[in-house]
Amino acid sequence: MTATSRPDPAEDSAAVFAALGATTRLRLVARLCAGGPQSIASLTGGTRLTRQAIAKHLRVLADAGVVRGARRGRESRWEVEPSRLGLARRYLARISGQWSERLEALRRHVEEAR
């Protein structure tokens, strides 16, 4: 389910963050971004994990909409879904927007000074 029925921005974004919130999965996404669409076997390389573990992680990422896979012959090619990453980026930008880093630095500086 992609939460089309519920318009809760937090709940929706949290799913994406949760998916990215495990080192293994974040590395997977990074690899997919850098290396393009790949098969499970290819993604398992250099991982020290089982093929099934990788498959499970891909499933989790897919459920969050971060990644999408399609069977092609005997292998399945997985690729990143950039719009979901964009969603997460926008959410972060929005909430930390009113809390801009420069303002924060200034405030901290002022508080230190007194």
Partner DNA sequence: ACGATAGGCAACTATTTGGTTGCCTTTAGT
Partner DNA sequence: ACTAAAGGCAACCAAATAGTTGCCTATCGT
Per CB under 7 A, residues contacting DNA are 18, 21-22, 24, 39-42, 48-53, 55-57, 60, 69, 71, 73-76
- 23-27's contacts with Cβ under 8 Å and 24+ in sequence apart are 24/49, 24/53, 24/57, 25/57, 25/60, 25/61
Segment 21 to 80, residues that bind a second copy, using CB under 8 A: 21-23, 25-27, 29-30, 32-34, 36, 80
Residue 26 contacts which entry, DNA, a second copy, none (Cβ below 5-8 A, type-dependent): a second copy
> Is 2 an interacting residue with respect to a second copy (CB under 8 A)?
no
Distance of CA 10 to CAs 7, 94, 112, Å? 9, 11, 34
